[in-house]
Amino acid sequence: MDNPESTKPAAIRSKQIIHIALQLLALAFLIGWCFQILDPFFTPLIWGAILAVSLYPLHQRLKKIMKGNGVLAAVLMTAFLLGLFIFIGGWLGIRTGAEIKNEITALQEGTIKIPPPPESVKHWPVVGRKAYQIWTQLTNGVENVIQKYPEEVKAAGSYLVRLLATAGKGLVMFIISIIISGVFLSYSEQSADFARKFFDRIMDHAKFDVSATTAVTIRNVVKGILGVAFIQSLCAGIGFFIAGIPYAGIWTLLCLVLAIIQIGILPVSLGVLIYIWTTGNTTTAILLTIWMIPVGFLDNILKPILMGKGAPVPMLIIFLGALGGFMYSGFVGLFTGAVILSLGYRLFNAWLHDAEL
């Protein structure tokens, strides 16, 4: 027979295991519940943190000018960013809205005149014949095309409405993110201390500063991808507006999006140049072409300089992380992908050289 005394430690261990399992289950439930509560705020919180990390060096300079008043510096920066964002967005929206309204009025009155396509359109690769056919139909009357393809026009209209709704939601989220970044900057010392403690806790005994690597990577992505995309699309937009391209605001915004996702502004630039050469003044077409050539190469010049400056990992690692992260999880992935791959590279490099992590 088993000795009752020998079964006591086993019974105690079983109770301890059950007790620990219940504690872990309760903890997992609590953490999951917290995540569900905060889920609507994750996107603006992440973007707010990204903006705060990117703007931190500028905030510190402004803080010195304000004689150490970090809150005032954060308020001024937030107000400036909100004003700039609302001004640019409002100006583009009003201008584009006015152009769309004029086109709708002209469509209702039947006064839209589209010049016939040149014969060279037929020789465009892949889409030449179809493009020539549709262009010719539009020349004979836009309303005829609408009547001929009602389902396609309806689908395009529905897609445009959904796109505008998504863009509006994104604008509101970005405004909230700017405000959140201002809060983070107001408590920059506490936020930085929290980040250091958090990374030290989850990556104990790391031989490199994880929070510093994260911050530098985020700033390099902002400068090397978002900054370059903004500069390039702004220069392209200036050319579009001066050349009098219809819906220049929309094409500028599309250039910005394509530059961010690393496709580049070439598709929009080619379309605009084809339009201006086939329908516009020759002098304007020549000047716009001359302007767009260096603008198209801006990213090749600026990106290696800005993305690799002061980086703790090779620029290629940051670029691949940003690109892969975007493909995996959208715009936020530009930063999360770059950060995760950079940290992984540092850890792998330490392991490869037989160093302590």
At 332 the three-state DSSP class reads coil
pLDDT at position 264 over 80: yes
Answer positive or negative: Cα dihedral of 351, 352, 356, 357: negative
pLDDT, tens digit (0-9, with 9 covering 90-100), for 24-54? 999 999 999 988 888 888 888 888 888 888 8
Backbone angles phi, psi at 195, to 5 degrees: -65, -45
Q: Which residue has the higher pLDDT, 341 or 125?
A: 341
pLDDT, residue 290, reads 92
pLDDT at position 70 over 90: no
pLDDT, tens digit (0-9, with 9 covering 90-100), for 158-215? 887 787 777 777 778 888 888 998 888 888 888 888 877 877 777 666 666 777 778 8
Q: Would you state the structure tokens that stand for residue 226, as one six-digit string?
A: 């978002």
Q: Evaluate whether residue 267 is within a structural domain.
A: yes
pLDDT, tens digit (0-9, with 9 covering 90-100), for 82-102? 998 888 877 777 877 777 777
pTM of the model: 0.71
pLDDT, residue 25, reads 92
The candidate with the shortest Cα–Cα distance to 59, out of 77, 84, 83, 81, is: 77
The candidate with the shortest Cα–Cα distance to 279, out of 125, 116, 122, is: 116
Q: Evaluate whether residue 74 is within a structural domain.
A: no
The domain total for the chain is 1
pLDDT, residue 205, reads 61
Residue-wise DSSP of 7-33:
HHHHHHHHHHHHHHHHHHHHHHHHHHH
Q: End-to-end distance of the chain based on CA atoms, in angstroms?
A: 52
Q: Per-residue confidence at 113, pLDDT binned at 50, 70, 90?
A: low
pLDDT at position 357 over 60: no
CA torsion 169→171→172→175, rounded to 10°?
160
Q: Evaluate whether residue 343 is within a structural domain.
A: yes
Q: Evaluate whether residue 16 is within a structural domain.
A: no
pLDDT, residue 224, reads 83
Q: How far apart are CA 22 and CA 16, in angstroms?
A: 10
Q: Which residue has the higher pLDDT, 240 or 336?
A: 240
Q: Per-residue confidence at 11, pLDDT binned at 50, 70, 90?
A: low
Q: Evaluate whether residue 130 is within a structural domain.
A: no
Q: Per-residue confidence at 6, pLDDT binned at 50, 70, 90?
A: low
Q: What does the pLDDT average to over 229-254?
A: 87
At 149 the three-state DSSP class reads coil
**Domain span at 244:** 204-357
Q: Evaluate whether residue 334 is within a structural domain.
A: yes
pLDDT, residue 5, reads 53
The candidate with the shortest Cα–Cα distance to 278, out of 93, 131, 120, is: 120
pLDDT, residue 206, reads 62
Q: Evaluate whether residue 32 is within a structural domain.
A: no
Q: Evaluate whether residue 320 is within a structural domain.
A: yes
